[in-house]
Structures are given as structure tokens and as C-alpha cells.
């Protein structure tokens, strides 16, 4: 059932935000430090944990896996938007570094693809 996936996602998100704010407070920063990453790791850990004490039926497991798969791309897209806005306001050096990394990533994809094909044979 998708409802269990949403409940698990909500729990992980709240726990991640709380722990991120706590970590920021302990470091003396008035910000959430890594809360989304903590939530993502918590969601992955809980969704993949083999717990025999809790019996989850197939539809509930399907809902948990659905939200587990949806959460990471959504968070990455949100973080990418924030990084672009920070790069634009950060000046030419940040913008140049961002463009350079994207360019190098595009170059690396065919190279990695060729390397993986050569290891298969």
C-alpha cells in the first residue's frame, strides 16, 4: 500500500530535518546541515532492512519501494536548483566551475561506457 511508503518517507524526512538542525546547532550554524542526506540514508536503510519481526505484505512493500525510488530524484533536483542559484549569485568562478564539471561529466560518460563494455568481453 502506498500509504505505508508515504508514512515511512514522512518519518525519515522529519527525522532527517531534526537531526540536520541539531547538527547545525552543535556546529554553531543556523542552518540544516545534511538533513536531507540523513533522511535519504535513513530511508534507504529502513526500506532495505531485513526485519523478520515486522511482516510487510507485497502491496505495502511496493508502496515503500515506490517512494524510496521517487524520493532521491526529487531531492537531487531540489538540491541542483539551489546549487545553480548559489552559483549565479556566487560570481563567475562558481559558475565557471559548475560548467566545467558538467562538461567533464559529459566527456566521462562515453569513456566509462567503453571501459564497461571492454570488461564484459
Cα-based distances in Å from 50 to 17, 21, 44, 73, 86: 25, 29, 12, 24, 40
Residue 114 is assigned to a structural domain of this protein: no
pLDDT at 94 over 60: yes
Asked, for residue 41, whether it belongs to a domain, the answer is yes
| Tens-place pLDDT, residues 12-48 | 888 988 998 898 899 888 877 788 788 878 877 877 7
C-alpha span between 43 and 65 (Å, rounded):
10
Q: Is residue 17 part of a domain?
A: yes
Residue 118 lies in a domain: no
Give the domain range for residue 65. Answer: 2-75
In a domain, 42, yes or no: yes
pLDDT higher at 2 or 57 = 57
- Range from 24-33, 82-91, 93-102, 112-121 carrying the lowest mean pLDDT: 82-91
User: For residues 2 and 7, what is the distance between their CA atoms, to the nearest angstrom?
Assistant: 9
CA-CA distance, 17 to 34, in Å (whole number)?
8
Structure confidence by residue, pLDDT tens digits, 57-68: 777 777 777 776
In a domain, 63, yes or no: yes
Burial grade of 42 (CB within 10 A; 0-12, 13-18, 19 or more): middle
What are the residues whose beta carbons fall under 8 Å from the beta carbon of 38, sequence distance 6 or more? 15, 16, 19, 20
Domain count along the chain: 1
Residue 90 lies in a domain: no
Residue 25 lies in a domain: yes
Amino acid at each position: 500500500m502506498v500509504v505505508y511508503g508515504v508514512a515511512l518517507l514522512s518519518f525519515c524526512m522529519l527525522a532527517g530535518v531534526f537531526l540536520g538542525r541539531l547538527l547545525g546547532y552543535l556546529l554553531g550554524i543556523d542552518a540544516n546541515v545534511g538533513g536531507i542526506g540523513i533522511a535519504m540514508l535513513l530511508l534507504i536503510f529502513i526500506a532495505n532492512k531485513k526485519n523478520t519481526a515486522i511482516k510487510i505484505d507485497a502491496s505495502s512493500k511496493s508502496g515503500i519501494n515506490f517512494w524510496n525510488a521517487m524520493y532521491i530524484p526529487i531531492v537531487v533536483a531540489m538540491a541542483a536548483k539551489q546549487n545553480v542559484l548559489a552559483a549565479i549569485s556566487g560570481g563567475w568562478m562558481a559558475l565557471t566551475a559548475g560548467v566545467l564539471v558538467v562538461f567533464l561529466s559529459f566527456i566521462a560518460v562515453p569513456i566509462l561506457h567503453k571501459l564497461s563494455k571492454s570488461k564484459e568481453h
